[in-house]
Amino acid sequence: MTLKADENAAQEFSRVVASHRQHIFRFLLASTRDADLAETLTQECFLKAHRNWAGFRGESSAMTWLMRIAINLQKDHWRNRRLQFWRQTCTNSVDVEEASDWLPSGERSQEQKLLAKERVGQVWRAVEGLSERQRTVFVLRYVEEMELGEIAQATGLSEGTVKAHLSRALGKVRTELRGGR
């Protein structure tokens, strides 16, 4: 590769990082509920992506490719540190109110903002009770606003399986929001 081609690739990768870093971090934060862990996994995601940038063939969007890397890193982390993760989560987890501050809200008045924040807290508590796969699909759909096909591509699941997990997740969240009835 020529020096000019290397520079162009580096600039292109920098643009990808700048445009997708927030999405990757937000997904990992919503998945792990631990800001330090989410930041670490985000950095690992982009480091891995940088190492493999030359091999990215563009068969999917860069966002889908990065999300797939992030999901795999998250799975590896959970698999390798499941017990340690839960012990640390109890002491280092992000407070529900703090996490809801990071989510966009179109609410205007203080009362509306407070009600929205309370509702977000209820949703997060319900999401915590989902299986890992259901939580991942739920967060990708409703936090990252990814389409079902993108989620399928990012997770390696079929679109039908994504729909099934999303449907089950929504059912559980709705039941929890209605008070467990």
* pLDDT tens figures, 13-34: 899 999 999 999 999 998 888 8
Show the CA angle centred on residue 20, arms to residues 123 and 104, nearest 5°: 35
What tens digit of pLDDT does each residue of 69-117 get? 999 998 888 776 554 544 444 444 555 555 555 555 555 677 777 777 7
Give me the CATH topology for the region 1-93: Rna Polymerase Sigma Factor; Chain: A (1.10.1740)
pTM attached to this predicted model = 0.59
Residue of 111, 100, 48, 110 whose CA lies nearest to 74: 48
* Residue-wise pLDDT tens digits, 121-132: 888 888 888 888
